[in-house]
Structure 1
Amino acid sequence: MDTKVIAEIANSHQGEVDNLFKLIDIVSKSDAQAIKFQWFKYDHLATPDYKYYEDYKKLYITQSDWDKIIKYADEHSLEIWVDVFDEWGLELLKKHQDKIYGVKLHSTIIQSEFMINNILDLNKPLIIGIGGWHDKEIKNIINKISKNNNDITLMHGFQGYPTEITDANLKRIKCLKDNYDFPIGFADHTDASIDLAKEIPVYAYFSGAKVIEKHLILERKKEFYDYYSSLEPDEFETMIAKLKEAEKINGTCKINKAERQYLDASLKAVASRDIEKGEIISFDKVDFKRTSSSSAFSIQELNKALPLVSNDFIKSNSSIDKESTYTPNITIAVVCRLKSTRLPKKAIKPINGVASVERVLLNTLEVKNTETVLATSTMKEDKPLENYNLDGKVDVVKGDPDNVIKRLLKVAEEKESDIIVRVTGDCPSVSPKALEFLINSHLNSGADFTMAKQNFPVGLLGDIYNVNALKRLLEEHEDLEYTEYLLFYFKNNPDYFNVNIVELPEEYQYPEWRLTLDEPKDLEMFEELYSGMGAKERAVSFFEIKDYIKSNPDVIKINENVGLKWRDVKEKVDEINEATTF
């Protein structure tokens, strides 16, 4: 049972040692985890003229008897809690500290610095009775005690015997739970002769109480000390049984197995529209309906399975299952040739001892759940690139020298790719994390094409294409002169392709930085950057680069005046846009 039940013995032993042994037997046979005793000696607690002095004498149990009682309770594997009311009880607590689990602090004890400090020195779990206390008073005592001990339970409960029903004030438990970062308990002193005495602890549990303290007596009808609110053994068992039932009813935050099985059997994944073979399946292409298909994904199963690709045509309203889908294969194609005129053979220029294109490969290999290939041409002039494969860690795929689409489809054919992430070979600082962000967005959107808004450093990213969309573009449009600027064919035709344009998180938004290699000034900047960072043959994150540039702002100024023809020259931009718009 998760709820801790403490059997409060208090004075129900009537000063008889045998009664204590009997009460321990009863508690140990129940599902209560703990028992609590009150320790005091009459002449340490009160003066002879005090009205209850003689009662205290009758209730007094000697230290030697308590030695036997504590040993007996410990042998019965009970958590032993105590109320200590005077220095006599404090000495007894110190004597048995190895067997005492915790201490309840009575309001009178809290006022004694000597008693509090000695109890705190023992480092025991504490229960603080806060019935009737204002929040300011509670905060003051918590501040005082929690400096030395943070294992505290706040115990709500009206201390009057018996407690009137209207004084139980169970709503206070939720308020305490909301306002304090400690477990809340409830000490019940309701008239034990009414049925509600066995029910109120259950209501307290539903209000948020984690600990229930309830008085236990051998026989209430004799009207001995503490009989008003004390349950007899069979009543105590009934209360615990009700608490156990309450825990079952309350359940957990999790969906239970029966509920989940009913839901899984009720709603299954079906296509919300026709899905073509090779199309990426995202949630916007799925409905959940009642269907006779037992193999269709449940909501939970589809959540775990996505992203998926259809391995055949799926008609609208048909089931989506393992047989009709598979996990997409994602390939990063680093597109590279050696034909540059502004910076000849820029791809193999060393940057702090590592070829530029290999810096691209080192970073793309860090992207999770993908494979990287170097996509070059069949031309003799590009043959040297075959040697820049990180000692065989990256495959080299040779394809069409001019048509980038055909070259990417050659990669897709050899690698059985469903999705191609195109990264150009002039991006030595391409960001693995930013690529992962873009890939996740692509998969979740179910788009044909994904790119980021142009508010990031040039050279930070690539763009993403479904292989089916590349095939469709090539099959339906023969005259494609600008495949070097492939993304324009997609972003300029949103009626033809499902286009997903993503805004990168703010930490990547440095559009004024230039991290691409196309001019001598770019090479100068990269050499200064990578040598300054001490980056040899390893992947380098954008955040490492960003930190270095912020500390050394002159580095990024080296190539700040170099422009991009396809972005900065209006005539060129207009020419590309016109040619790539259908």
Structure 2
Amino acid sequence: MIKVATAKVLAEIANAHWGDPARLAELIIAAADSGADGVKFQWFKYDSIATPDFIHYQTYIDLSIDNKIWADSLTLAKGLGLEVWVDIYDEWGAQLLAELEGSVDGLKLASTVLQSDTLIQALKKFEKPLLIGVGGWYEEEIDKQLSYIKNNFKGPIILMHGYQGYPTRTEDSNLSRLAYFKQRYQLEVGFADHEDAGNEMAIDLPVYAYLLGAGIIEKHITIDRSSKGIDYYSALEPHEFKVMVEKLRRAEVVWGSLDIKESERKYLEDSSLKIVSRKGISPGEIITDEKIRYKRSSVPNAFRAQNTSERFPLISKSVIPADTPITPDMVNKPKVCIVVICRLKSTRLRRKALLPLNGVPSIERCLMNCLAVPNCDQVVLATSDLPEDQPLTNFTLDHKVKIVTGDPTNVPKRILKSAEETNADIVVRVTGDDPFISPEMLSYLIDHHIKSGADFSHAKESTMGTVGDVITVEALRRLLQLLQHSEDLTYTEYLSFYFMNNPTLFNVNSIDIPDQWIFPDWRLTLDEAEDLKLFEKIFNELDVGKRPLYFEELKSFLLNNPKLMEMNRGIKVKWLEDTSLINELNKATKFI
């Protein structure tokens, strides 16, 4: 038999105050007179805990109590020698806790809000003892969330067993789980039951739980059960509460099973937090953690909050208004398309995309590396519909690459056409004169773009010719709407300027890629004869056939042959050296 030296008895006031400050004070006094060690309150606000469609939304409004009244109630409890513990259900409760922290002895996360990472992050700074409601959770779910909580809380953690439905059937008590949890997790345990208060077991069950190892007993209290109201089902009247306290060390052990009952699980599923939009979300927008919150909702198929990080980010399929529960039919997994922009109009190195590098055309080298990006769904070669560019349409690479032709001058329009023909949500713009485009770096940029929810992502620093730009298609459509009124499309090939120069219109994400991938003195883009000589030598000496060339292999080779990079070091990037052109670009690409 597992025993504890002393049980801490908390009188759970919950919502028995009915929103009445006078009744709240009466309950605190009754708890002290009944022998409780402390009182426990529930802090939440109707519009922070739930959406208006939730069945108990109006009840939550009726239960609202002013911050000043809560402060006075804590002063009263402390004056009577009671500890003060609080259930925090939402962001409002966390804010109230920040105001009254000095009078609060401990916190609780109920089982129905345990999966809110946002709430855990808000509470960790208070470093208070923490009760965790685990009723209804499977062991693998407890394992995962408890690990997260342990990594964020410094104070003591106590697991609170007990079914939260009203009233609890005696056969759902499952007290043997107390000893099981204590042994499995090596943590203190407590018991919070909701047995029908009219049943004699309502007094005895907490006693049995104590003898099975529960160090904290949480029990509802009410002034007069016959008045009913809210939270009266399992609440003991003051004289009954006193009897329970007196019997705590004389009861027999009550055993149950280790099984979670179907009714208990159903309660958790019906009342647990759902994922709700924090703000209005547009079609095609990336839904990240910053754009969602957790609330109770009666929408049955809305995403539940647990395992949020495994589901999100997602892409919205339609308009999602603010404060709307998000359901699977509203979203898709982001689909990524790499769009290689290429034409054969070069004058410095004629038809350079077709020039062979160890027997393989340069453009094919670029496409093979793009196909090696693991988090890409489709690769497109986007060229013009002019006859001079038709040779590029043959590079399907055994139909792995989709060919899209379009407007010769309007690059964003060609990219959007590529996205629409592949049903892509996110496009990666790669230029066809980059045979060393890095699968590793593109994959890194895609991941960080999706996690950020940005409109446009680029590498803050990089090795020339190894990276591309990542663009959310929804933002690309917005850009084209702005451009449709422009008669001059001369600068659309400098697509990044439109995003970078309009920070009020587009969310730009400048990504720090790992230092081991950055070699600012290396030139790996094909534009001049010296580039061609260098690239041919690299592919020949590495004996790269028809396969991708990953940057790590290339880097190792070049670091071991440093003189090679002298072959094209003197070539300047003409547009970067042309100050007047840059000024003209900055001016031409600003909308505001």
**Residue in 2 that maps onto 1:365:** 371
| 1:501 and 2:510 correspond | yes
**Residue in 1 that maps onto 2:413:** 406
Q: Aligned-pair distance for 1:549?
A: 0.4
SS of 2:505 mapped into structure 1: coil
In structure 2, what is the Cα distance between the partners aligned to 1:431 and 1:354? 17
Q: Report sequence identity in percent.
A: 44
**The one of 373, 383, 387 aligned to 1:380:** 387
SS of 1:397 mapped into structure 2: strand
1:400-549 pair list within 5 angstroms: 400-453=407-460, 455-477=461-483, 478-479=485-486, 480-549=489-558
Change (3 A) 1:532 1:258: farther
CA-to-aligned-CA distance 1:112-154 (integer Å, 9 cap, x gap): xxxxxxxxxxxxxxxxxxxxxxxxxxxxxxxxxxxxxxxxxxx
In structure 1, what is the Cα distance between the partners aligned to 2:306 and 2:469? 30
Decide whether the 8 Å contact of 2:371 with 2:379 is kept in 1. Answer: yes
Q: Aligned-pair distance for 1:418?
A: 1.3
Decide whether the 8 Å contact of 2:375 with 2:446 is kept in 1. Answer: no
**Residue in 2 that maps onto 1:349:** 355
**Residue in 1 that maps onto 2:344:** 338
Gaps of 5+ in 2: 1-179, 187-211, 214-254
CA-to-aligned-CA distance 1:423-457 (integer Å, 9 cap, x gap): 0001101111111110111111111111111x211
Paired letter, 1:379: L
1:31-430 pair list within 5 angstroms: 262=268, 265-370=271-376, 371-430=378-437
CA-to-aligned-CA distance 1:64-115 (integer Å, 9 cap, x gap): xxxxxxxxxxxxxxxxxxxxxxxxxxxxxxxxxxxxxxxxxxxxxxxxxxxx
In structure 2, what is the Cα distance between the partners aligned to 1:417 and 1:557? 40
Q: Aligned-pair distance for 1:300?
A: 2.7
In structure 2, what is the Cα distance between the partners aligned to 1:207 and 1:274? 41
Decide whether the 8 Å contact of 2:434 with 2:526 is kept in 1. Answer: yes
Decide whether the 8 Å contact of 2:356 with 2:362 is kept in 1. Answer: yes
Alignment TM-score, normalising by the size of structure 2: 0.54
Paired letter, 1:451: H
Gaps of 5+ in 1: 1-201, 209-240, 243-247, 252-256
Alignment TM-score, normalising by the size of structure 1: 0.55
In structure 1, what is the Cα distance between the partners aligned to 2:411 and 2:499? 14
In structure 1, what is the Cα distance between the partners aligned to 2:539 and 2:573? 23
Paired letter, 2:583: D
Change (3 A) 1:269 1:300: same
Q: Aligned-pair distance for 1:516?
A: 0.5
In structure 1, what is the Cα distance between the partners aligned to 2:567 and 2:267? 63
Q: Aligned-pair distance for 1:469?
A: 1.2
CA-to-aligned-CA distance 1:387-432 (integer Å, 9 cap, x gap): 2222332121111111001111111221111111110001101111
In structure 1, what is the Cα distance between the partners aligned to 2:321 and 2:516? 42
Decide whether the 8 Å contact of 1:358 with 1:389 is kept in 2. Answer: no
Decide whether the 8 Å contact of 1:309 with 1:327 is kept in 2. Answer: yes
Paired letter, 1:506: D
Paired letter, 2:463: P
SS of 1:299 mapped into structure 2: coil
Paired letter, 1:306: F
Greater relative contact order, per chain length (Cα 8 Å cut-off, separation 6+): 2
Q: Aligned-pair distance for 1:343?
A: 0.6
In structure 1, what is the Cα distance between the partners aligned to 2:264 and 2:353? 60
Q: Aligned-pair distance for 1:261?
A: 8.0
Change (3 A) 1:265 1:555: farther
Change (3 A) 1:206 1:312: closer
Q: Aligned-pair distance for 1:523?
A: 0.7
In structure 1, what is the Cα distance between the partners aligned to 2:512 and 2:270? 36
Which stretch of the first structure deviates more once superposed, 324-333 or 470-479?
A: 470-479
Paired letter, 1:307: P
Paired letter, 2:470: I
CA-to-aligned-CA distance 1:532-556 (integer Å, 9 cap, x gap): 1111111011010100000001111
**Residue in 2 that maps onto 1:147:** none
SS of 1:484 mapped into structure 2: coil
SS of 2:345 mapped into structure 1: coil
Paired letter, 1:294: P
In structure 1, what is the Cα distance between the partners aligned to 2:481 and 2:412? 11
Q: Aligned-pair distance for 1:487?
A: 0.7
CA-to-aligned-CA distance 1:269-292 (integer Å, 9 cap, x gap): 111100011211111111111122
**The one of 575, 579, 590 aligned to 1:570:** 579
In structure 1, what is the Cα distance between the partners aligned to 2:467 and 2:348? 22
**Residue in 1 that maps onto 2:101:** none
* Larger Rg belongs to: 1
Q: Aligned-pair distance for 1:328?
A: 2.0
In structure 1, what is the Cα distance between the partners aligned to 2:183 and 2:300? 41
Q: CA RMSD in A?
A: 2.9
SS of 2:363 mapped into structure 1: helix
Paired letter, 1:398: T
In structure 1, what is the Cα distance between the partners aligned to 2:388 and 2:318? 41
In structure 2, what is the Cα distance between the partners aligned to 1:481 and 1:489? 13
Q: Aligned-pair distance for 1:206?
A: 9.1
Change (3 A) 1:529 1:317: same
SS of 1:375 mapped into structure 2: strand
In structure 1, what is the Cα distance between the partners aligned to 2:443 and 2:575? 26
Decide whether the 8 Å contact of 1:457 with 1:515 is kept in 2. Answer: yes
In structure 2, what is the Cα distance between the partners aligned to 1:499 and 1:272? 21
In structure 2, what is the Cα distance between the partners aligned to 1:264 and 1:541? 49
How many residues are matched? 341
In structure 2, what is the Cα distance between the partners aligned to 1:391 and 1:298? 43
Decide whether the 8 Å contact of 2:274 with 2:302 is kept in 1. Answer: yes
SS of 2:541 mapped into structure 1: helix
Q: Aligned-pair distance for 1:260?
A: 12
Paired letter, 2:563: D
Paired letter, 2:400: K
Decide whether the 8 Å contact of 2:302 with 2:325 is kept in 1. Answer: yes
CA-to-aligned-CA distance 1:222-253 (integer Å, 9 cap, x gap): xxxxxxxxxxxxxxxxxxx99xxxxx99x9xx
In structure 1, what is the Cα distance between the partners aligned to 2:382 and 2:504? 29
Change (3 A) 1:317 1:537: same
Moved over 3 A (4+): 204-208, 257-265
